[in-house]
């Protein structure tokens, strides 16, 4: 259950990009979470809601975009989505492979509501 | 609506500190392993048995991570090995910052091998780089031979698997060959050792491997 600590890291990143006065305008925070990143999406969403409740980010929503686990084989060049996150190439059984996606944990975008127009 | 594009790793702060730890270990020529497992697999018993064998052949230090108490540090200290206890107070894993702080209490210039015993947990520590050279997973036969399939991230990120408590194999429904096959199906590059801390079986092969890698670092 380290999703709470992950959610805290996400909030810190939001704070770096959005000045305090504008944080109540944050609506969506888009994250990329690999299927083998070790993160449980529901648990991360729950943790994010829990730590932003009663803060200026309380109206923001964490959006999790899952990424499949894909490897590329250095021997035969095949790109595969492997069962259970194995790093062995299912085509030729070689073990020299590169993980292309599926382990990442990134904050991609923050979406802010427009500032209310000043009444003249 | 306005959009701020970020593209930042969530754990970049941890990764940055882990990089600093790794640079420090390289300068001091320390070989550093991150020992991970479920609770009760025998990490600390393995560490005691390992230290007893390797401390004559290499200069060793230990960082202990636990949710509460310094009981493990007390066990290690009895072996006359420098040890620092990190208590996470509920935290389910060690982070690079905690290790960085703990390093202030150790004289790394005198250390060949540093063992970081992580909090007992096969999920969360997989995400947090500490700056170690490699991760060693301890897995006891009583936990079931399907464990690598249930916790693939840890086994994919590890370099070594130590199958512990093999003296209990006659009494449990675990098949050590199935266990090894399952681990290697996730990560065929794993080096596997079968040991029993109670009988001493297999410990020499593991300790020789450790000494050889510590020496190569220096």
Residues of B with CB below 8 A from A85's CB?
152-153, 156, 186
A-chain residue closest to B151, CA distance:
A38
Does the pLDDT at position B65 exceed 70? Answer: yes
Residue A2 or B192, more confident: B192
Respond yes or no on whether ipTM tops 0.90. no
Residues of B with CB below 8 A from A18's CB?
4
> Which pLDDT score, from 0 to 100, does residue A120 have?
55
Say which of A9, A10, A84 has its CB closest to residue B186. A84
Residues of B with CB below 8 A from A47's CB?
none
d(CA B194, CA B138): 10
Digitized pLDDT (tens) for each residue of chain A, 120 residues in all: 689 999 999 999 999 999 999 999 999 999 999 998 889 999 999 999 999 999 999 999 999 999 999 999 999 999 999 878 889 999 999 989 999 999 999 999 999 999 877 665
Dihedral sign for Cα A13, B130, B71, B73, please: negative
Is A86 part of the contact surface with chain B (CB cutoff 8 Å)?
yes
> Which pLDDT score, from 0 to 100, does residue B74 have?
94
Instruction: List chain A domain ranges.
Output: 3-68+101-112
> Which pLDDT score, from 0 to 100, does residue A108 have?
96
Average pLDDT over residues B11-33: 96
Pick one of 3.30.1460.30, 3.30.2320.50, 3.40.50.1240, 2.30.30.90 as the CATH number of A3-68+101-112: 3.30.2320.50
Q: Closest Cα of chain A to B189: distance in Å?
A: 7
Does the pLDDT at position B201 exceed 80? Answer: yes
Q: Closest Cα of chain B to A85: distance in Å?
A: 6
Condensed to tens digits (0 to 9), the pLDDT of residues B101-160 reads 999 999 999 999 999 999 999 988 998 999 999 999 999 999 999 999 999 999 999 999
Residues of A with CB below 8 A from B10's CB?
6, 9-10, 13, 31, 105-107
Residues of B with CB below 8 A from A70's CB?
none
CB–CB of A109 and B126 under 8 A? Answer: no
> Which pLDDT score, from 0 to 100, does residue A2 have?
85
Catalogue all structural domains in chain B, each as residue range(s) with its CATH number: 12-217 (3.40.50.300)
Residue B28 banded pLDDT, cuts 50, 70, 90 = very high
Q: What is the mean pLDDT of chain B?
A: 95
Percent of chain B predicted with pLDDT > 70: 99
A-chain residue closest to B91, CA distance:
A2
């Amino acid at each position: 259950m380290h999703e709470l600590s992950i959610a805290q890291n996400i909030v810190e990143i939001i704070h770096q990009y959005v000045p305090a006065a504008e944080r109540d305008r944050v609506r969506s925070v888009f994250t990329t979470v690999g299927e083998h990143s070790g993160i449980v999406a529901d648990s991360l969403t729950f943790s994010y809601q829990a730590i932003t409740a009663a803060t200026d980010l309380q109206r923001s929503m964490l959006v999790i975009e899952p990424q499949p686990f894909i490897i590329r084989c250095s021997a035969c060049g095949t790109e595969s989505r492997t069962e259970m996150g194995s790093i062995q190439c299912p085509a030729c059984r070689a073990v020299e492979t590169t993980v292309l996606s599926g382990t990442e944990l990134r904050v991609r975008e923050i979406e802010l509501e427009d500032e209310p127009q000043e009444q003249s | 609506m306005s959009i701020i594009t970020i593209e930042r790793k969530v754990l970049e702060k941890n990764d940055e500190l882990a990089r600093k730890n790794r640079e420090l270990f390289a300068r001091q020529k320390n070989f550093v392993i991150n020992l991970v497992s479920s609770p009760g697999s025998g990490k600390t018993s393995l560490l005691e048995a390992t230290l007893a064998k390797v401390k004559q052949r290499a200069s060793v230090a230990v960082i202990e991570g636990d949710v509460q108490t310094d009981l493990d540090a007390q066990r290690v200290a009895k072996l006359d090995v420098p040890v620092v206890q990190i208590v996470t107070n509920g935290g389910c894993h060690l982070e690079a910052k905690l290790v960085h702080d703990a390093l202030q209490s150790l004289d790394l210039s005198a250390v060949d091998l540093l063992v970081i015993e992580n909090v007992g947990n096969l999920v969360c520590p997989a995400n947090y780089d500490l700056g170690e050279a490699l991760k060693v997973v301890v897995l006891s036969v009583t936990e079931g031979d399907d464990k690598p399939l249930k916790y693939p991230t840890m086994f994919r990120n590890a370099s070594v698997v130590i199958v512990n408590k093999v003296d209990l194999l006659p009494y449990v429904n675990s098949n050590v060959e199935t266990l090894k096959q399952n681990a290697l199906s996730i990560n065929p590059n794993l080096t596997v050792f079968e040991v029993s801390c109670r009988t001493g079986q297999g410990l020499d092969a593991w300790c020789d491997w450790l000494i050889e890698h510590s020496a190569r670092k220096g």
